[in-house]
Amino acid sequence: MAAIGVIGSGTWGTALAILLNGNGHKVDLWSALPQEAETLKNTRIHPNLEQTRIPDAIGITDNLKQAMGGKDLLVMSVPSVYVRQTAARMKPWLKDGQIVVNVAKGIEESTLHTLSHVIEEELPLACVAVLSGPSHAEEVSRGLPTTCVAGASRKETAEYIQSLFMNEVFRVYTSPDVLGIELGGALKNVIALAAGIADGLGCGDNTKAALITRGIAEITRLGVAMGGRAETFSGLTGIGDLIVTCASMHSRNRRAGILIGQGYSMDAAMEKVKMVVEGVYSAKAALALSERYHVSMPIVEQVNAVLFKGVSPQDALKELMLRDRRMENSGLEWESAV
């Protein structure tokens, strides 16, 4: 049995706390909001996970020192925009070599750093790893079969995380490609916004398949240019996560996109979804990275145009469809020029 602190009581943090408790570990769940912590403690129900009760064995607190003290593992599950400030708050109680597993998905807009990089900057004594994949909290909390990937620079760290999380309904693979895992998890949210916008416009399955396929091509181009491995983007944290986020109504990015496609503004869509829409925060960073690394990302460009430049979803879709003619894969060659 391990002692584990889950830092962040959103749906994903709560679902993982339930999973880890079910695996026999001693779990404390931390909320940044005292009132939220008190409500969760009293009701044992997360408002966005109403089908699942939080077991009594899970400690719930707004005391960060208590949540971190004496822990074998810390799971960082706060929205990407709060990762840096939460990590800074954690510093006084972090022990040397503490394993911190980031499960949030995003890119810091101001620095264009991945979230593990942000955590390492704020917590240089920590051993930072990631856990990612196609994993909606609503399904994990109910024990539905799910697969994820634990990424770390050291094999033994990834295998330790694998041993803590894995069970008969939650399968965990390992990988050394932390950068690729994080880029896949962050960038797929931008493509999912596009998929949702297409749904809101009334497009069909053909459009969805095109956005998923061309979306993973964009993600892979940028990821490889930044140093990620191409194999990662064809796996669970690449195409796997992209498929589930583009196709499921559990996806807040897709839901926000649907509303935008139906005519809602970005702000109105985010307010209606009532949860953090990570793709909105990652869209500008994705575009900036594509420019820095000279990588073509037309879907990302059009999502930014809709979100921040007042371009209508209809015009953005038309722009994508009427781009210059080209080969699907420039790496292929004709056998004959005739």
- What amino acid positions are annotated as catalytic residues? 188
Q: 229-264: buried (b, 16+ CB within 10 Å) or exposed (e) per residue?
A: beebbebbbbbbbbbbbbbbeebbbbbbbbbbbeeb
CA-CA distance, 20 to 165, in Å (whole number)?
6
Angle at 81 between CA 77 and CA 82, to 5 degrees: 55
Q: Are 256 and 269 spatial neighbours (Cβ–Cβ below 8 Å)?
A: yes
CA-CA distance, 145 to 138, in Å (whole number)?
12
CA-CA distance, 73 to 336, in Å (whole number)?
58
Residue of 139, 130, 203 lying closest to 169 (CA atoms): 139
Please report, for residues 23, 49, 64, 313, the alpha-carbon distance to residue 69 in angstroms, rounded to integers and kept in the order given: 20, 27, 8, 49
φ and ψ of 53, to 5 deg: -90, 140
Question: Coil, strand, or helix at residue 191?
Answer: helix
